[in-house]
Structure 1
Amino acid sequence: MRAIRRFTVRTVLPEPLAPLGELALNLRWSWHTPTRDLFASLDPRKWEAARHEPARMLGLLTPEELQVLAEDAALVRRVRAAAEELHGYLTSDRWYQRQQDVPASIAYFSPEFGIAAALPQYSGGLGILAGDHLKSASDLGVPVVGVGLFYKTGYFKQSLSRDGWQQETYPVLDPDGLPLSLLREEDGAPAVVTVGLPGGRTLRAHVWRAQVGRVPLLLLDSDIPGNDERARTVTDRLYGGSKEHRLQQEMLLGIGGVRALRLFSRLTGAPEPEVFHSNEGHAGFLGLERIREHVEAGLEFDEALEAVRAGTVFTTHTPVPAGIDRFGRDQIETYFGGDNGVDGVPVGKVLALGAEDFDGGDPSVFNMAVMGLRLAQRANGVSRLHGVVSRDMFEGLFPGFDATETPISSITNGVHAPTWVDDRVVALLAEQGGVVGDGSDKGAVDWSAVERVPDEALWALRRTLREQLVQEARRRLRRSWLRRGASPAELGWVDDALDPDVLTIGFARRVPTYKRLTLMLRDPERLKALLTHPTRPVQLLIAGKSHPADEAGKRLIQQVIRFADQHDVRHRIAFLPNYDIAMAQSLYPGCDVWLNNPLRPLEACGTSGMKAALNGGLNLSILDGWWDEWFDGENGWAIPTADGVDDPDHRDDLEAAALYDLVETSVAARFYDRDEAGLPRRWLQMVRHTLATLGPKVLADRMVADYVGELYAPAAVASRELDGTPDHAGARELAAWKQRVLQGWHAVRVDHVESGDVADSPQVGDPLRVDAYVSLGGLDPDDVDVQLVHGRVNDADSLTDVRFEPLAHAEAYEGGRHRFSATLELRRTGPFGYTVRVLPRHDALSSVAELGLVANAGS
């Protein structure tokens, strides 16, 4: 019989073991080995049954068993010591506390967070990145508060049919059985956040709090009493439902998230955030809610917009326009106008923020990424190449500027080493003095210590990690086949599937088309030859989920599975269903090579390869995302790309052939190139080089520190100047200045440019005097920058390698005309050219292109 209702009864711990409750509730255990070891020691068998989740583990222990444990004096001392260590971690000064002019608090909004398998609120790289961001913020002492949604069924669990078709199930999560606590009012009642919906409806949500080390994570849950049935399902699942359902989710995340932060600050005394970070456009409505707050406090919309923009950071993860959330303008009018409108926040102004009012844009849609860029004074992509792609993609928002000046910077993603590095790697480095402290903080690793590790020890470690992965893969493979309908009698072959002494290549990620899951299958016979080579065999472990609505992605998975099911290769290739954090933590360490073959340049970053590298794996990848930035020829291999080939099938054929050639002639050849001691010395040198050089670069600690220095601290300073001044004087003044400049810019032009005499054959060191005669209309010279733009000239008379020289105001004439002058000393040989342009200038602008205004000579 099925239960008609379910709930979780939480354990009451004996007083001597009471600290276990705090240790289980704080998700730091997910990356802190000593805490996990403590829970495992309570009952190793039940620890395995609990899937290594402390809260679940405590629920499996009976009151009698807990009482026996409470009488173990040595255990009680260990519990108290662990609790004291956690308290020290939560309260001591860390890296952030030594920084100057940094924000008191940062709100980090994301639609998903991948913290631990115990809290399945993620689907892929975006969520894992968000989880690593919070964890490293905690380790560094950065005062971040995470904001997201609590999805009742999370993302789906993946299984396979007999013929290899992806199947999805959505197990219901009981928050009482998860490491969560409910945010409550002073009287003990659950705190409630409300968001207005059209037709007089109200969307209500409770706020669950997860504690990620020092970082609180607030998750809004709409499945509560008081909501009608439609409202209760708003947070039913991640990335599911109709466009309207998605819009309501994003309103709850952005608008409800800001309101949850206000509740959290009121109820806990936590400081109000100075900086608001939107991880992708899904949370973009947070800016509208903050504008509403300022309008209610007495500001005009445009003034409120400036106050909000100053303290907002927007990160784009999307390398293609199709990956951006778009809603119909009519939907936005319905949800932000009419009976659901807000006085002082006219729906026309809202629509303008997300309008695709540029060449190639669609006037019928509201673009969440475009709104994110317009609501944030600072924006970034997630790798150096992705920054270039993003500047090109959003160039239309800043007409008159080259793509290089589109105000989107880049901070390359990183990964949280304590989560992803196998303990054995840390232990080996510790033997060479490469770990600070007791090794529990894997972020404090001197990666160069690997240079002192003997080849024999390093190779033995790699073999141990590979064997661990093979055993785990066989277990998962057997379970998958049983669920596909096979009988145990059919599965004797699984015991010998894969081999701990064979070169192991991993490929695991989401399955959109551009990641090209099936590129390896372009020539099935050649792949078979690689897998079954008599002396240099290769084995492949593959994992990944396709979005439930992506039939094309499911077909790609099925193609891989049908190939892997064949009797002559199934011992060398396996598809492991239900790729998640738990699987990844054995997959990354055990793979010798991590494969990534996206269609360049559509991989924003691709952090899975970073996790493999931190465990001594080598990367075999298209030069895309982070690999384009940090491949150096000694830390892996770059798959050549067929850039410029228009036929996608032909391009795939060419790049697949290049992949096969690399695996056969370089990767496998080097792996199996052994000396008389049986050691692959050249391979091990690449492993050493990878750990020593990539170790410091690919860390989320580095990433978060970059966010603090390059985005959060400047945003906090700007916010204080515009939003923190009495009566918001800074925001009011900037809004008025922008209004004046926008209204008067039609009259701004470069009338005439004169250059002083230049020798017939100018040489390096010769002076070039430039006088620019400029009309400013009603604007003042202090309102503008007049720049001499110079550089090399290509065959199309376009400037390259551009540099900028300010022209000083020299003279004013009647009618708003002015002369600006500069003398430039020629320092570059070869074809030289220049032009002059006029830009708005204000100390509160973060970029020359911020207003999208420029007057170029000759235009």
Structure 2
Amino acid sequence: MNDLQGALKRQKIAYFSMEIGLRSEIPTYSGGLGGLAGDAIRSAADLNIPLVAVTLVSNKGYFRQILDPSGNQIEHTEEWNPARFMTLLSENISVKIQDRDVKISAWLYNCKSLTGSYVPIIFLDTDVEGNDREDRKITDSLYGGDRRYRLKQEIILGIGGVRMLEALGFNVRKYHMNEGHSSLLALELLKRNGADPAKVKELCIFTTHTPVEAGHDKFDYGLVEDLIRDKNDIDTLRKFGGEDRFNTSLFALNLSNYVNGVTKRHSRTSCELFPGYKIQAVTNGVHSYTWTSPYFRTLYNRYLPGWTDEPELLVRVGKIPDAEIWEAHWSAKRDLIDEVNKRAGVDMDYEALTIGFARRMTSYKRATLILSDLEMLRKINRRGKIQLIFAGKAHPSDEAGKQIIRDIFKTIETLHKEIKIVFLENYDMDLAAKMVAGVDVWLNTPSCPYEASGTSGMKAAHNGVVNFSVLDGWWIEGWIEDVTGWSIGPQPEEELSEEEARLAELKDLYYKLYYIIVPMYYEQKDEWFKLINNSIGMVAYYFNSHRMMRNYVTNAYL
């Protein structure tokens, strides 16, 4: 509690996120949004930014993924004990859902920096004595249940989060909503500020991560009125969140003075989605120390002292001898291949060009694009041996995403005597760290413009891994052809039909693998070393969360 008392002395930025990725043993994240939140918090701790974070405890996690021999995904709850990592605080508050007072307790986790600074994270928990059995489960499952369950979670996060911070004595300067899930905090702030939207706007920052209309949370007012029964509250939600359905992002937009997307392209897309709103751009980054393998950490410590505090020092990577960079990469690759062979028994090869693809398994990510023409893949493999590593979870209700995993398993079976391909189950932060450091090429093939940012390729770059990606999200800003990596398919400004774009992408994907990537890897090591150096010195030096958080401080927090 001494740490908490110390944190109360300074005005805070309250950072609200439905999910936060801190470590694999704390399964309170599902993917990119949680990973980004965790990296933002780690950088805030490093930079001594006065932040306090608020999220849900998700007692049963997201889910543990088990895959049967045919690639069928089986979901298991991933129950964990917060008491192993956190301190249960004595304060309790309540929020009204329907006509019931739902009690909320809080766990404190201090995210500590190597510098000694820390950011307190408040995990809200409704598994409290005295609550109805149904209410005790509200903070159980991340993104679980139906629309009613989701709206209850958003009431707890937004309204409950503001009340908990007040009960704990935090002096909050600004409220930063990381995606629209926490936007109901603005409803609570309106009550505390005489229903004056101008005052609330001064307090609120909204970051949207969703580039398509369908991705923004919307709730039917019949459901909203059933759970939030105060007529004045409903009138407020209709006024600022939409007449037909309650749109959480619209509510946040209307009650925030600073709004941003997470890349320059995404900011422009968001302005088209929500015309009339000023939506800035703060391009995402990743926490350099967390996502750099131990082998590269040792190298950077030796040649670039201070890089953990100033990742921009990675621009001086040219000081490090190529032989030492290759040894660091080789060590990370060996660790990954050993892990793959231990898990899957596929006897992957240390020497072969290894391509990695790991992210949420959903249709627009197009994990199977590289598997579209198996004859071309065989031809590429004859030019120089390749092997592919896939990983990722499909949301339990995403049947199309689950089918993608089954399709990959069918291809693995079809090609098992020719090309080594593996799908690793239960993708988590530990596996992610091994993969982004251990592959040779990081593949990214989303349908444009559905990738708001993406961050896995930034993590790969910190380890000298070369990006090969569709021009969407962050890669538009990081890409210089044949210098920092390679693009796949048309330029963003080219106007092609969906089918034309896909054919252009497939042609480019296979052409570059056959004529450029595979020959360079096997026959032009000096050119490959240049790409490794440029991944670190021209990509990682900029696409890090220290730069991102400094941008938030100067643009939004001050």
TM class by smaller structure: over 0.9
Measured after TM superposition, the shift of residue 424 of structure 1 is 1.1
Structure 2: distance between partners of 1:621 and 1:661? 14
* 2:531 is equivalent to residue 686 of structure 1: yes
What code does the residue aligned with 1:152 have?
N
Residue number in structure 2 paired with 1:485: none
Query: How big is the alpha-carbon RMSD for the aligned residues of Structure 1 and Structure 2?
Result: 2.2
Structure 2: distance between partners of 1:243 and 1:365? 13
Deviations 1:738-773 (A, max 9, x none): xxxxxxxxxxxxxxxxxxxxxxxxxxxxxxxxxxxx
Higher relative contact order (CA 8 A, sep 6+): 2
Residue number in structure 2 paired with 1:562: 410
* 2:223 is equivalent to residue 373 of structure 1: no
Measured after TM superposition, the shift of residue 329 of structure 1 is 1.7
* 2:497 is equivalent to residue 646 of structure 1: yes
* 2:296 is equivalent to residue 416 of structure 1: no
Measured after TM superposition, the shift of residue 446 of structure 1 is 2.3
Measured after TM superposition, the shift of residue 334 of structure 1 is 2.9
* 2:332 is equivalent to residue 332 of structure 1: no
Give the counterpart of 1:592 among 436, 440, 444: 440
Residue number in structure 2 paired with 1:761: none
What code does the residue aligned with 2:486 have?
W
Residue number in structure 1 paired with 2:75: 168
Measured after TM superposition, the shift of residue 165 of structure 1 is 0.8
Report how many residues are paired.
548
Deviations 1:336-367 (A, max 9, x none): 33xx45xxx45222211110xxxxxxx53111
* 2:101 is equivalent to residue 202 of structure 1: yes
What code does the residue aligned with 1:422 have?
S
* 2:132 is equivalent to residue 228 of structure 1: yes
Structure 1: distance between partners of 2:149 and 2:294? 42
Q: Secondary structure at the match of 2:516?
A: helix
What code does the residue aligned with 1:279 have?
N
Structure 2: distance between partners of 1:352 and 1:570? 61
Deviations 1:296-336 (A, max 9, x none): xxx3x2x2x21111110000000101111100022223333
Give the counterpart of 1:193 among 93, 96, 111: 93
Say if 1:207 and 1:221, in contact at 8 Å, map to a contact too: yes
Output aligned runs, 1:764-803, within 5 Å. none
What code does the residue aligned with 1:637 have?
W
Say if 1:280 and 1:317, in contact at 8 Å, map to a contact too: yes
Structure 1: distance between partners of 2:480 and 2:279? 26
Structure 1: gaps (5+ residues): 1-20, 27-89, 92-102, 185-190, 266-270, 356-362, 399-405, 479-493, 675-679, 714-859
Residue number in structure 2 paired with 1:318: 210
Residue number in structure 2 paired with 1:635: 484
Measured after TM superposition, the shift of residue 263 of structure 1 is 1.6
Distance 1:146 1:586, change over 3 A: same
**TM-score w.r.t. length of structure 2:** 0.94
Say if 1:114 and 1:120, in contact at 8 Å, map to a contact too: yes
Residue number in structure 2 paired with 1:44: none
Say if 2:378 and 2:418, in contact at 8 Å, map to a contact too: no
What code does the residue aligned with 1:230 have?
E
Structure 2: distance between partners of 1:131 and 1:335? 31
Structure 2: distance between partners of 1:517 and 1:555? 11
Residue number in structure 2 paired with 1:703: 548
Measured after TM superposition, the shift of residue 246 of structure 1 is 0.6
What code does the residue aligned with 1:638 have?
S
Measured after TM superposition, the shift of residue 260 of structure 1 is 0.9
Structure 1: distance between partners of 2:49 and 2:517? 41
* 2:378 is equivalent to residue 528 of structure 1: yes
**TM-score w.r.t. length of structure 1:** 0.62
* 2:299 is equivalent to residue 428 of structure 1: yes
Deviations 1:214-243 (A, max 9, x none): 100001111121111110111110001111
Structure 2: distance between partners of 1:571 and 1:536? 11
Structure 2: distance between partners of 1:225 and 1:702? 43
Deviations 1:20-54 (A, max 9, x none): x99xx99xxxxxxxxxxxxxxxxxxxxxxxxxxxx
* 2:236 is equivalent to residue 349 of structure 1: yes
Say if 1:275 and 1:313, in contact at 8 Å, map to a contact too: yes
* 2:557 is equivalent to residue 712 of structure 1: yes
Residue number in structure 1 paired with 2:39: 132
Measured after TM superposition, the shift of residue 539 of structure 1 is 1.2
Output aligned runs, 1:409-488, within 5 Å. 409-432=280-303, 434-436=304-306, 441=308, 446-478=313-345
Say if 1:104 and 1:274, in contact at 8 Å, map to a contact too: yes
Structure 2: gaps (5+ residues): 113-117
Deviations 1:517-553 (A, max 9, x none): 11112112222333x32x5111111111110000011
What code does the residue aligned with 2:260 have?
N
Say if 1:132 and 1:416, in contact at 8 Å, map to a contact too: yes
What code does the residue aligned with 1:222 have?
T
Structure 2: distance between partners of 1:171 and 1:588? 24
Deviations 1:75-118 (A, max 9, x none): xxxxxxxxxxxxxxx99xxxxxxxxxxx9310000000001112
Structure 2: distance between partners of 1:168 and 1:691? 37
Structure 1: distance between partners of 2:509 and 2:388? 14
Measured after TM superposition, the shift of residue 458 of structure 1 is 2.1
Structure 1: distance between partners of 2:471 and 2:460? 17
Identity %: 36
Further displaced range: 445-454 or 205-214: 445-454
Say if 1:309 and 1:375, in contact at 8 Å, map to a contact too: yes
